[in-house]
Homo-oligomer: A and B are copies of this chain.
């Protein structure tokens, strides 16, 4: 019973209205695995870094229980770098610089010990790379996939091919509308689910998340935070908490997905409270359980009495 996450391991330089952070540890696989490892003791990372990636970051991941056999170090290359700026509306960000570096030639080779992975999380990468990874895993029970507008616009056919192999697509509301070419989210969900994924989870940032499955629509709230410092990695952290919880339950049904969304939301609510993945490095299990319970209070609708017919 194990989780494999493929994605970026990166340096991020981030500006938000609340501060800045320079070349901090980042990347989708970083956030994903650091969140998932609270729920599972077998979390495997597939990614690539350059010779400039410091040992302390490797150790930060390793000491938190992330299996790094799948992390390739290219000694002559430089680590993927992203620089971005968020505005007061934290849903709105500008990418100021992207240096693909070692990611440009990333050709993930899955270690033999990873072939039996139970859950596979395909971080936001070129859809062909996502399929390459999937092809190297024997028989995953559940495949979770992220993508972004760039792939929706530039590699639509390849993305469709990947989507046919996916159980659960996790994207934001703008991406869902764009992928389906349909402004209404309920209709968009049907269109996307017809592309392959049985399950669509729509992330809406400060507005929570929506789950669409066979006969289920579930609306999860967002945790009302007074101090959001940095939304970087929130979506990957969400996916990591979701995958981690699903692994903990070992079943993939409506109830486990709902719970997974709540744990994913709880993890994401911690991640955004500080710059970089700081909180994910030092949370304890009781904090996570407490915040997940807070979601229940937040969303609980008391008993309703039917209206009297006039």
Contact of A217 with B by CB under 8 A: yes
A183 to B92, CA, bound (A): 13
Contact at B307–A296, with CB atoms within 8 Å?
Answer: no
Contact at B285–A226, with CB atoms within 8 Å?
Answer: no
Known: A184-B228, A210-B224. A218 touches B298 (CB 8 A): yes
Contact of A160 with B by CB under 8 A: no
Contact at B217–A298, with CB atoms within 8 Å?
Answer: yes
Chain B residues whose CB sits within 8 angstroms of the CB of A218 once the complex forms: 298-300
Contact of A288 with B by CB under 8 A: yes
Contact of A113 with B by CB under 8 A: no
Contact of A207 with B by CB under 8 A: yes
A284 to B308, CA, bound (A): 10
Contact at B296–A299, with CB atoms within 8 Å?
Answer: no
Contact at A292–B309, with CB atoms within 8 Å?
Answer: no
Task: Select which of B255, B284, B298, B308 is within 8 A of A302 by beta carbon.
Answer: B255
Within 8 A of B (CB), among A261-310: 262-263, 284-286, 288-289, 292-293, 295-296, 298-302, 304, 306-310
Chain B residues whose CB sits within 8 angstroms of the CB of A289 once the complex forms: 304, 306-307
Contact of A70 with B by CB under 8 A: no
Contact at B295–A309, with CB atoms within 8 Å?
Answer: no
Contact at B293–A309, with CB atoms within 8 Å?
Answer: no
Contact of A27 with B by CB under 8 A: no
Contact at A219–B226, with CB atoms within 8 Å?
Answer: no
**Minimum C-beta distance from A202 to chain B (A):** 10
Task: Select which of B89, B225, B228, B296 is within 8 A of A301 by beta carbon.
Answer: B296
Chain B residues whose CB sits within 8 angstroms of the CB of A220 once the complex forms: 301
Cβ proximity bits A61-74 to B, threshold 8 Å, 1 near / 0 not: 00001000000000
Contact at B224–A302, with CB atoms within 8 Å?
Answer: no
Contact of A115 with B by CB under 8 A: no
Sampled A-B contacts (27; CB under 8 Å)? A38-B307, A39-B307, A88-B183, A89-B183, A184-B225, A184-B226, A184-B227, A184-B228, A185-B224, A186-B224, A187-B226, A207-B208, A217-B298, A218-B299, A220-B301, A255-B302, A258-B300, A258-B302, A259-B304, A262-B304, A285-B308, A286-B306, A292-B304, A293-B304, A296-B301, A299-B299, A299-B301
Task: Show the binding face of A for B, using Cβ within 8 Å.
Answer: 38-39, 41, 65, 88-89, 183-187, 204, 206-208, 210, 217-222, 224-228, 248, 255, 258-259, 262-263, 284-286, 288-289, 292-293, 295-296, 298-302, 304, 306-310
* Further contacts, 11 of them, CB under 8 A, given A186-B225, A221-B299, A292-B304: A184-B227, A184-B228, A207-B207, A208-B208, A208-B221, A217-B224, A217-B298, A219-B224, A258-B302, A296-B301, A300-B301
Shortest Cβ-Cβ A-B pairs, 9 listed: A219-B221, A207-B207, A289-B306, A285-B307, A88-B183, A285-B309, A255-B302, A186-B226, A186-B224
